[in-house]
Amino acid sequence: MINTLFTPLQVGAYTLPNRIIMAPLTRMRAPQATPTDLMATYYRQRASAGLIITEATAISPQAIGYPNIPGIFTEEHVAAWQKITSAVHAENGTVFLQLWHVGRISHPDFHGGELPVAPSAIAPQGQAVTFNGMQAFVTPRALALEELPSIVNQYRYAAQLAKAAGFDGVEIHSANGYLLDQFLRDGSNQRTDSYGGSFENRYRLLQEVTQAVVDVWGADKVGLRLSPSGTFNDMSDSDPTALFTYVVEQLNSFNLAYLHLVDALESDIRHGAKVVDLAVLRAAYQGCLLVCGGYDQARGHQAIADGLADAVAYGELYIANPDLVGRFKQNAPLNKPDASTYYGGDEHGYTDYPFLT
């Protein structure tokens, strides 16, 4: 039998009813980093996804780099997320929280005037999104060797709070040019200590963070996201195919619930990305593999039928189609997302997209 997006899938501890995953989507609707009741409505509406991965969520104050992104580092955050996990569970959904530290993709405005932190003092090209509009990225402060255990502890603590909030698991965000990705790639990591240089050294922080999160949750409730071909947030690496093949081979030993790979996007190719062939990583990785990156239904089915992936995550399609699974099943027309309401705002363009009737 050929598997499709509608074939159930064992992902770590969970049997998902389908392979249509809601990708993590930043929506910037959490004032003071605290999730709202409106967010509970939004996630409940999308609970028919095989798995929801929440929007990226800051693990500490230092981890923040955008206005109104949610956090998971206080008791208030836990209480607010509990309403969201309950809402999703009431609809028989499964939801993992994405754990996020932005590293250098931030601005002193978020940190009482202090510099954002990074593996090395290298400013990304581009601008930060702040409460005072777009502002040029600053040169970050390189984390001292002695500070790295505290970064691991931020992940551990956030993972514990995610458990208290009733999530079914967590996804470690090591993609898209944020802190853990900054450590992996040599365009942003030029350290000369045991966290820079060789693949082994650049992988060290991700290894330690993953171990800490697995210690809290058990490997069968932990996913991890990488973007090997990504150029977003001014990322580059001298040999991404060799680097990410090494990383994926190392990750095999954790036996995680899943690995989530962001495929090369058109924008990466425009920016001259060295594209890492998914098939190479598929061959190197022994566990459950999720892919995403502008897939439509046909390409999703194909990736699964070809054995390139076990499940497919959909981002923009999930913004506008809370009932994406039902629409795919019926081959129904899809609502078009309104990009002007992606980031910030109210229920408009958030919880008011129509369901199929």
Q: Summarize as ranges the residues that interact with ligand PHB (CB under 6 A).
A: 26, 56, 66, 175-176
Q: Minimal distance in Å, beta carbon 56 to ligand PHB?
A: 4
Residue 117's H or E segment, with its range, is strand 117-118
Cβ closest to ligand PHB, residue 61 vs residue 344: 344
CA 158 vs CA 74, 167, 216, 313, 342: distances in Å = 9, 12, 10, 24, 26
SS3 at position 155: helix
Per residue, the 3-state secondary structure of 323-349, as one string, reads: CHHHHHHHCCCCCCCCHHHCCCCCCCC
Cβ closest to ligand PHB, residue 18 vs residue 106: 106
Quick check: 312 and 5 in contact, CB under 8 A?
A: yes
**Cβ neighbours of residue 135 closer than 8 Å, sequence gap 6 or more:** 107, 109, 127, 128
Q: Minimal distance in Å, beta carbon 66 to ligand PHB?
A: 5
Cβ closest to ligand PHB, residue 197 vs residue 337: 337
Q: Minimal distance in Å, beta carbon 195 to ligand PHB?
A: 22
Please name which of 295, 219, 231 lies closest in space to residue 259, comparing C-alpha atoms: 219
Quick check: 278 and 227 in contact, CB under 8 A?
A: no
Q: Which residues are catalytic?
A: 178
How many C-beta neighbours within 10 Å does residue 289 have?
Answer: 20
Q: Minimal distance in Å, beta carbon 214 to ligand PHB?
A: 21
- Which residue has its beta carbon closest to ligand PHB? 26
Residue 334 burial by Cβ neighbours in a 10 Å radius (0-12, 13-18, 19+): middle
Cβ closest to ligand PHB, residue 169 vs residue 230: 230
Q: Minimal distance in Å, beta carbon 175 to ligand PHB?
A: 6
Give the bridge partners for 194, in sequence order: none
Cβ closest to ligand PHB, residue 66 vs residue 295: 66
Give the bridge partners for 259, in sequence order: 224, 289
